[in-house]
Structure 1
Amino acid sequence: MTGVAALLAGCAVGPNYQKPQTWTPPKWRPTQVSDGKGASITVPDAPDVAWWNVFGDAELTSLEERLASQNLDVQRATEELAQSRAQLILAGAERFPALSASGSYARNQQSTKTLQRIISRIGQSSGGPVSDLLEESSSNATIPVLDRWRDGVDATWEVDLWGRVRRQYEAAKAYLEESGEQRRSMLIAREADLARDYVTLRGSQEKLRVLRLNLADASRIFGLSEARYRSGLVSELDEQSARSQVETISAEIPELEQQITLQINAISLLMGSPPGTLTAELSAASAIPPVPPRVPVGVPSDLAQRRPDIRAAAAQLHAATAEVGQAEADFYPKVTIDASFGFQSLSFRDFGFWNARTWNVGPSITLPIFQGGRLTGQLELKKSAQRDAALDYRRTVLSAWKEVDDALTRYSADQARRDALCAQVETNRRSYVLASEQYRHGMTNFLDVLDAERRVLGSETDFADVTSVVSGDLVRLYLSLGGGWESVFPVRGHG
């Protein structure tokens, strides 16, 4: 009995999947800490699932929490996951016997002429009195109209001796896992897109605030120059230069207002909403989300478990390995057991009686003898696909480490640039105040004031830019680390 069970269980031919080993650095690249009071360093603590909470921005948190159920790309990925789950059900169905019930009724009239011809031929070959009798009766033979009643249950089951069905199911499970990781990757990417767009929006609003403050300063200086020109203390050149500066700054404001509108529309699209839907919610200016003093990034050995693209590549390799075994199993005989049981009668009155039963059971064997190279070509195709999946896994892992290293480098370098610009803003602002006071008292010409004013505007704008860049760098860092263990998805995904 044990031998029969082992035979029925069979063995799965082909290679078994083994999770690939990946290189892991002992620690992350250290981030350089500047002397700036806003310096932020990375620490090996486990990151929060909702990583955007590190910014401490309530509006950003609200948007991120709504994203998973509203973003259309995530919803599409959810439907693709549902399709993969259905494919798994289809693949798993082959592991079990297929049962079907059927019933039929037919009223038939067979060919009487055919029957007469058959009887006549029999009579000609028989000879003697029997021949004469058959010849005489053949012309009068008829076939009555017959009623045929039938019902039954049919079953078929493939005895998976070589593991073809099991390898097929194994591949389907791996594809389902890959589809789940792709959906998770889509969600993480859209979360990062939302955070970057939000940071960019707040940066544009900060630059607009800087422009308006500088416009107020330029207007004040213009008023002073105009008054001094009317008093004959300065030339018209000072008055026109001051007017030009006001007009230059004023001309930049509509462009920034346009950028703000476009950025709000971009966020609305990510949230699956029409343009303008979030205008009332986001049009009020707010500070650029600041980076925290300590950024938890986990440890390097967790990266392969955190990055969904790495897990998806591993699942793809698993599926490709299982498909090699499935292709090898096609070289072996395919054994199928077919069975049926039912009732058949020419009269409805006899239809339910036990002696009207009909049944059959038995195996069928299909052995591939000559396929014109189809099976060999299919096996080589699957082996090549497996090697390709292994290379893709290695490429994905190396790309992941590069993205993390690049993100850490940018985060450190842009912080140093931000601190330098912060000092430059303070210096330029002090120079502008001194030049304005000296011009007010007639101790310097207007060109010095104009030059100082332009330096202030440029440095303050650059500082707003780099501040949003640093926050964007932190978003990229968390994206490269694989985000968090996101678990909030649209309801239809059942995930």
Structure 2
Amino acid sequence: MNRTIMLLPLLTLAACATGPRYAEPTPITALARPYANAPLPAAIAEGALERWWIQLGDPTLDALVADTLARNLDLDAARARLRRARAQRGVTRAAGLPTLDGTGAAQRQQTGSGSAKLNLGEAGGGGAGGSTDTLGIDDIPGSAFELYQASFDASWEVDLFGANRARTRAEDARVAAAGFDIEDVRTSLAAEVARDYLVVREVQARLAVLDRNLAIARRTQALAREQERAGLVTEADTARTDAQVLGIEAQIPQLRMQETQAAQRLAVLAAREPAALRDTLSPVRPIPASATVATGMPSELLLRRPDIRRAERELAAATHSEAGAVRDLYPSLSLNASYGGIRTGGLLEWASTLFSLGANLTAPIFDGGRRRAEVERQRANVDEALARYRSAVLGAFREVEDGLVASTRNRERLVLAERTVERRRRARTVLEEQYRAGLVGLLDLLTAERDLAEAETLTANARAQVTVDWIGLQKALGGGWRVVPAVEREKGA
């Protein structure tokens, strides 16, 4: 009864949870309105974001993304971080459970054998001529015995105020954050593969434009030389056509270098040697055309973007860690028990058992402010994690808005560029006919050819940029992963 009365205040304190409680933060921005630059907040069909790249309709890109997600080394590192987080959670959780240790020892001892002499006194009365006699006892036998000892020790630090429970919750949140980190890496990888693939196809499209313009320039060069031989143009005019051909040829090595570098980046992303994909990417394919984008509502980003979910779980972990630090300011109670026995053999045989049971109550009195400083450190971690979470949310909204603006403006640019190509191609055809008829000079024709080459190059660039914008918008919307229940995520990689 007395023990219960003594422990009652402590148990009452333990019943009152101490430290901060976690509540999911509210972003410092409006979430209910649609995106400012989206025509309509179209809903996103289930599964449409998980493999968004297949909407581009390019089997080579599909294979590259699948290969990269299966082999990428950054993903392997992210999976290792998840395993490490799970192991750390096991360590923290085990700290709140009882421990049981067993010990055992065995010894054998031997006493040595020898001889002794016994003094029997002086023979014959011990006179001056007498002598002293001794009795020798040889070969006193030795003795041996064994000593055995075994014990079991149990201890348990009672989590009175929930410090270990709070730390376990923090590790649970870190495990979830590591899972979202994997999804964030997957999302970034898919977008990076798609962008590098677009570089390859854009360069190939520009090379095709250069090949066509080079053929036209060489035809113009041959025509100028014919007219020079006929005395219709001067040598200076022919030199201009030579410079036109050389200028086009000079652009080809730079583009070839860009194509090779992009192909090598794709190979390394898939953990292959740099030259592994050259044959795969060498067949020329058109630039993939982007599809429409279903933006959804801004509030959906909180569930779709893995970096936001990771930041939220990191905030939860920091909050629970602060709660654990606060609860370390309170007393701790530990229980311990021990049971063991000793047995000897040989000359002396006997057995004994040992048993003990106790409790220790430890209250922090003075530690130089260490515990208070740890609370303040954890509180600063919470403030930092909250700022990172809010920054991640605002950054995500900005990325979507920027992507929508860029997509709209670059689509307008593409339409204008295609119209420009049509006009300049027509102008070049007319000027070639007039040049053959001697109605215009060679300079007019060369200018028309240069204008057409520039327009076709800009069109290829605009077409690729529209698809790049679409890829960036898919990434900004959280494409490349799906929202999975926590239990299912725990069973994953």
Q: TM-score, normalised by structure 1?
A: 0.85
What secondary structure, in the 3-state scheme, does the structure 2 residue paired with 1:170 have? helix
- Distance in 1, Cα, partners of 2:41 & 2:245: 43
Aligned to 1:359: 355
Cα offsets for 1:284-334 (capped at 9, x unmatched): 111111112x22233322100111111111111111111111111111111
Any residues of structure 2 matched to 1:93-492 within 5 Å, and which? 93-106=94-107, 147-292=146-291, 294-347=292-345, 356-485=352-481
CA contact (8 A) 1:10 1:160 kept: no
What secondary structure, in the 3-state scheme, does the structure 2 residue paired with 1:341 have? strand
CA contact (8 A) 1:317 1:393 kept: yes
CA contact (8 A) 2:100 2:155 kept: yes
Unaligned runs of 5+ in 1: 33-40, 111-143
Aligned to 2:126: none
Cα offsets for 1:2-60 (capped at 9, x unmatched): x999959855421111111224141123347xxxxxxxx97333333101112111111
1:108 CA displacement: 7.1
Aligned to 1:116: none
1:430 CA displacement: 0.9
Indicate which of 19, 22, 28 corresponds to 2:24: 19
1:104/1:10 CA distance change after superposition, 3 Å: farther
Which 4+ runs in 1 deviate beyond 6 A? 3-6, 348-351
Q: TM-score, normalised by structure 2?
A: 0.85
1:346 CA displacement: 3.0
CA contact (8 A) 2:61 2:194 kept: yes
CA contact (8 A) 2:186 2:481 kept: no
CA contact (8 A) 2:217 2:241 kept: yes
1:107 CA displacement: 5.1
- Distance in 1, Cα, partners of 2:347 & 2:424: 108
Aligned to 1:117: none
- Distance in 1, Cα, partners of 2:110 & 2:375: 52
CA contact (8 A) 2:92 2:168 kept: yes
What secondary structure, in the 3-state scheme, does the structure 2 residue paired with 1:152 have? strand
What secondary structure, in the 3-state scheme, does the structure 2 residue paired with 1:479 have? helix
1:259 CA displacement: 1.3
1:147/1:372 CA distance change after superposition, 3 Å: farther
- Distance in 1, Cα, partners of 2:386 & 2:492: 30
- Distance in 1, Cα, partners of 2:247 & 2:41: 42
1:27/1:345 CA distance change after superposition, 3 Å: same
1:409/1:159 CA distance change after superposition, 3 Å: same
CA contact (8 A) 1:336 1:363 kept: yes
Cα offsets for 1:234-262 (capped at 9, x unmatched): 22222221121111111111221111111
1:165/1:31 CA distance change after superposition, 3 Å: closer
Cα offsets for 1:416-458 (capped at 9, x unmatched): 1111111111111111111111111111101111001000111
Q: Per chain length, whose mean CA-contact separation is higher, i.e. which structure has more relative contact order (CA < 8 Å, sep 6+)?
A: 1
CA contact (8 A) 1:17 1:322 kept: yes
2:316 aligned partner, one-letter code: H
Aligned to 1:83: 84
- Distance in 1, Cα, partners of 2:265 & 2:401: 29
1:18 aligned partner, one-letter code: A
1:49 to 2:54 alignment:
no
Indicate which of 24, 28, 36 corresponds to 1:29: 36
CA contact (8 A) 1:306 1:484 kept: no
CA contact (8 A) 1:308 1:482 kept: yes
Cα offsets for 1:318-353 (capped at 9, x unmatched): 1111111111111111111111223222338999x9
- Distance in 1, Cα, partners of 2:296 & 2:82: 29
Aligned to 2:122: none
2:325 aligned partner, one-letter code: A
Alignment root-mean-square deviation, CA: 2.8
1:179 CA displacement: 1.5
1:100/1:450 CA distance change after superposition, 3 Å: same
What secondary structure, in the 3-state scheme, does the structure 2 residue paired with 1:347 have? strand
1:20 aligned partner, one-letter code: P
Cα offsets for 1:347-375 (capped at 9, x unmatched): 38999x9x633222221111111111111
Unaligned runs of 5+ in 2: 112-142, 485-490
1:175 aligned partner, one-letter code: R
- Distance in 1, Cα, partners of 2:222 & 2:37: 52
2:363 aligned partner, one-letter code: L
- Distance in 1, Cα, partners of 2:236 & 2:402: 50
1:71/1:463 CA distance change after superposition, 3 Å: same
Aligned to 1:124: none
What secondary structure, in the 3-state scheme, does the structure 1 residue paired with 2:293 have? strand
CA contact (8 A) 2:145 2:346 kept: no
What secondary structure, in the 3-state scheme, does the structure 1 residue paired with 2:218 have? helix
2:248 aligned partner, one-letter code: I
CA contact (8 A) 2:303 2:309 kept: yes
Larger radius of gyration: 2
Number of residue pairs the alignment of both structures matches: 448
1:487 CA displacement: 9.1
1:25/1:430 CA distance change after superposition, 3 Å: farther
- Distance in 2, Cα, partners of 1:422 & 1:90: 63
CA contact (8 A) 2:145 2:347 kept: no
